[in-house]
Amino acid sequence: MNHPKPLSRRHPLTRSLLLAIAAVLVTHPGTAGTNPGETSDAALWPTFRGVRASGVVADAKLPIAWNVGTGEGVAWKTPVAGLAHSSPIVWGDRIYLTSAEAENEAELKVGLYGDIKPAADEGVVTWTLSAFDLEGREVWKRVVHRGVPKIKRHTKATHANSTPATDGETIVVMLGSEGLHAFDTSGEKLWSKDLGTLDSGFFLAPTAQWGFASSPILHDGKVIVQADVQGPSFLAAFSLEDGREVWRTGREEVPTWSTPTLVPRGEGEQIVVNGWKHIGGYDPTTGAELWRMSGGGDIPTPTPVVWKDLILITSAHGQERPIYAVRQDATGEVRESGALAWEHERAGNYMQTPIVVGDIGYFCMDNGLLTAYDLTSGEELYKTRLGSGRSGFTASPVATREAIYFTSEDGEVYVVAPGREFRQLALNELGEVVMATPAIAGDLLLYRTRGHLVALSKAAQAPTTP
């Protein structure tokens, strides 16, 4: 049994209604569920992993089992061109999805391996943004940018890793070195912002370009971007209206691939970012640093998540693989101020963002090793392996209050019951490679596979082709 290191205390709705609900979810954490970010409103999945990156829609009625061969549980399956690991986002009756369509067939190498070399593919790429309805029909598709990528990608990555974000009126697309872009819900481009070359790669091998992956988040009319890259790293806010830079705060950090999270702080909010040298909290109005700590893994990828008054931060690569539970009211240097509630020094995630259901946190490593923790004490509840250990796990889990969905790169979906003991409810196949984190839209479970957007539903008996 692994104990924590003890630490000292110190369906479619109107747009106006959806905007009001979104404002409530952000300004009144805990309104919709047990934990900040947990919501019972499945019409909102506006960013990577939904509201506050929680990944939880408590009351969604999702299928436990399905069969892609017979069509049982498959509401629809729509072909999607290109290669991308970005997740779908949802607002009301619209699903938005980005992709990168290359002139030449793009190589994708999945599995557990450690090759740091970038992919060898070259040529022009067309980046797109598409809107779908909840029946899987494409409503519109727009070209966001077209050109030869300025930075190469890892063989396991794509040129469209970042998930878009929306407030129901504007959709923001982050393409790294190809810029930040905004569209309205009819597909009209509103603005584009050149952020320069954002080179993400292993800091010990500067020529090993891997591609940008951090997703934007939205707050109070601003687009928040975490850009930890080779060269000057920064956290910045841009006007959602016109792309104007509002503030920029430099960061002493190596390249990271994590998305920032909005976290409650008193009566307001803070932006929390993962990192190796520089994990921290920032004021979303000014960009001023509120607190900091170091000691993460040196390739930070998971997004911070919230549980009650704690922020859960994890990473795993190099000499460090921690889980930190930081108090939301932290100030200054976390360890010195006593704001670290508990930690595990060698238990962190490499790729997946963890998930919280009730008072339990679930952390799945890239080899399928799943560990559950009591978040009050940090005590390990159980540890088990999903699958054989030969398949990678990159997509982050999503959940309802009754089921958690863990997905391997080979398209195997392990459905696990929340609780203090491990109980597997089902093992399902999607039949394709899956790298993107799924989304929830009403009572639909949405998967982006290697070549499709797939909707799974309890009500579905046979597949339809939109």
Model pLDDT, residue 107: 86
For residue 197, the tally of other CB atoms under 10 A from its CB is 13
The backbone torsions φ and ψ at residue 23, rounded to the nearest 5 degrees and listed phi first, read -65, -40
CA distance 143 to 321: 39
Model pLDDT, residue 4: 59
Model pLDDT, residue 459: 87
Q: Which residue has the higher pLDDT, 42 or 223?
A: 223
CA distances from 226 to 35, 50, 162, 191 (A): 24, 18, 11, 19
Alpha helix ranges (H) inside 316-397: 334-337
Model pLDDT, residue 42: 53
CA distance 307 to 310: 5
Q: Is there a contact between 342 and 325 (Cβ–Cβ < 8 Å)?
A: yes
CA dihedral 218, 297, 373, 422 (to 10 degrees): 100
Length of the chain: 466
Which residues sit opposite 370 in a β-bridge? Answer: 364, 384
**Per-residue pLDDT tens over the stretch 355-392:** 999 999 999 999 999 999 999 999 999 999 999 988 99
**Per-residue pLDDT tens over the stretch 137-179:** 999 999 999 999 999 999 999 999 999 999 999 999 999 999 9
Closest CA to 243 of 269, 225, 228, 222: 222
Model pLDDT, residue 11: 39
**CATH architecture label of 5-10+17-456:** 7 Propeller (2.130)
Model pLDDT, residue 41: 57
The DSSP annotation for 219-234 comes to: ETTEEEEEE--SSSEE
**Per-residue pLDDT tens over the stretch 418-433:** 999 999 999 999 999 9
Closest CA to 124 of 107, 110, 108, 106: 106
Model pLDDT, residue 236: 99
CA distance 455 to 266: 38
End-to-end CA distance of the chain: 50
Q: Which residue has the higher pLDDT, 3 or 93?
A: 93
**Per-residue pLDDT tens over the stretch 177-209:** 999 999 999 999 999 999 999 999 888 888 889
CA distance 331 to 309: 14
With 50 as the cut, is the pLDDT of residue 399 above it? yes
Least confident span in 33-37, 98-102, 292-296, 316-320: 33-37
Q: Is there a contact between 202 and 192 (Cβ–Cβ < 8 Å)?
A: no
CA distance 39 to 33: 5
Q: Is there a contact between 119 and 107 (Cβ–Cβ < 8 Å)?
A: yes
CA dihedral 107, 256, 381, 374 (to 10 degrees): -140
Model pLDDT, residue 32: 39
Burial of 380 (0-12, 13-18, 19+ CB in 10 A): middle
Q: At 431, which amino acid appears? A: G
Model pLDDT, residue 346: 86
For 130, the token pair is 């598409």
**With bands split at pLDDT 50, 70 and 90, how would you rate the model's confidence at 462?**
low
Q: Is there a contact between 255 and 208 (Cβ–Cβ < 8 Å)?
A: no
With 90 as the cut, is the pLDDT of residue 15 above it? no
**With bands split at pLDDT 50, 70 and 90, how would you rate the model's confidence at 461?**
low
CA distance 280 to 343: 16
Report the mean per-residue pLDDT for the chain. 91
Model pLDDT, residue 40: 55
Least confident span in 17-26, 69-78, 247-256, 293-302: 17-26
